[in-house]
Amino acid sequence: MNYTPNQDPNRPSRQNTGYSNPNARPQGGGPRPNLPPNMTPQQKAEYLRRLEAQRRAEQQRRGNEQRPKYRKRKGAKPNVGLIFFAAVICVVVGISVHQISKNSADPVETDSLLQTLQDVERGETTNTPAEQEQTPPPFETEGENTVPAVEFSSVSVNSADINQGDLILVNYEHPYSLADTVDTVEVYSNKTASYYLSTTNHRLTERALNAMNRYADGFAADTGLSEILVVSAYRSMADQQSVWDSKVQSNGEEYAKNYVAVPGHSEHHTGMALDLSFYRPSDGASVPISEHEQGFWMTEHCAEYGFILRYPESKVDITKISYEPWHFRFVGKPHAAVIMRKGLCLEEYIAQIKNYTPDTKLLHALEDGTTAEVTASELPTEGYVIYYVPSAETEATEIPVPSGYENYIISGNNWDGFIVTVYVGKESQ
């Protein structure tokens, strides 16, 4: 169908309006629309639909123009001062509440807290409580201190006595100057029946002899054998020179250096060293410890009697003496137990003891060789405490000893100071 420009159904106009009912008025009143002629019913319906949509859009536009306009309100700027004040209040309250709950035994007074809040509000405080420096509280204790503070008294010893005692170190670096003046006793007339002597001339210090008697008696009790043989004990300078010369003549000087100490550097000068073997009564033969069926007992139990294996196989680079399974040295308890338990040689032990002094820490040792570190104000109630005191350059050296402990031994180390061994057990030694 052809339309004139005024008849185009997509172009609304005053003349191109109409509905399916030509006589009907638009909704809401108004003149009747004039429908173009020659329109099909479908065209008329589409035309009226578009006309109605246009009318509604026009009414909406007019309504918006008549509605009162409001100016868009700008966002309010935050009040920085108010926010800071609120934050400070929160911090003060939070810290105060935390302190009250934490220290219930010493609660914060309400008046004091209120005063703090008022000061903050008036701006009279320069720092919040969290910023103020606080002194840490003292440690809390319950009941009385179970370890009373230990006081030390001073014992004066001759500085020259650095060369005397159970723990003197004699080796290639530290000669023994008192070799010919050592106070020894005869072994033959003071021994028990549980061991033999290679000669009746053997001598030892009294403490070493008493320990040897217990050592041999212990072996006999455990094994049922009384076969220990003392081959060598104390040697004077002349004795050591004779042994040295003999070894050099038979095996050469290099061999002698590995097994025999140079005169003046031998442990046998101390009267506390023993060369042991076994005597077999059936044929009168001497059997080395390493070849005897019970030889292992000697090393496993020597510390119980105050002896150590002086030259272990693993310490040759330190001792400069080859492995000697027959050479035992008396050092006393509990030192022997610690040395054997920890696999040390005497050189290592003497050096380590120098780390323990009354001003720093003490070594606590039990008879089984277990150790711990304690302070001078916390002495235990069993075992021993051990520490080092350097020798003074003056004639006398003042040795601090815990007051009330009378069972102690002071030994020089033949080096640079003294080693103090205090028995702190309840039973007397």
Mean local confidence (pLDDT), 103-129: 41
Judged by average pLDDT, the poorest of 22-26, 83-87, 398-402, 424-428 is: 22-26
Check pLDDT > 60 for residue 106. Answer: no
Q: How do residues 199-253 score in pLDDT, each as one tens digit?
A: 999 999 999 999 999 999 999 999 999 999 999 999 999 999 999 999 999 999 9
Per-residue pLDDT, 228 = 98
Per-residue pLDDT, 131 = 40
Neighbours of 51 (CB within 10 A): 20
CA 170 to each of CA 299, 336, 350, 377, 414: distance values in angstroms, whole numbers, following the listed order: 21, 16, 11, 34, 7
- Confidence grade of residue 337 (pLDDT, cut at 50, 70, 90): very high
324: annotated active-site residue: yes
Contact call for residues 303 and 292 (beta carbons, < 8 A): no
- Confidence grade of residue 137 (pLDDT, cut at 50, 70, 90): very low
Q: HSE on the CB side for 211, CA within 13 Å?
A: 25
- Confidence grade of residue 9 (pLDDT, cut at 50, 70, 90): very low
Kindly report whether the global pTM for this prediction surpasses the value 0.85.
no
Check pLDDT > 80 for residue 115. Answer: no
For 195-257, strand residue ranges (E) read 195-197, 203-204, 228-232
Per-residue pLDDT, 117 = 36
Per-residue pLDDT, 149 = 66
18 or 202, which is more confident: 202
Distance CA 228, CA 223 (A): 11
Per-residue pLDDT, 68 = 46
Judged by average pLDDT, the poorest of 126-140, 272-286, 318-332 is: 126-140
Annotated active-site residue in 46, 52, 304, 324:
324
Per-residue pLDDT, 160 = 95
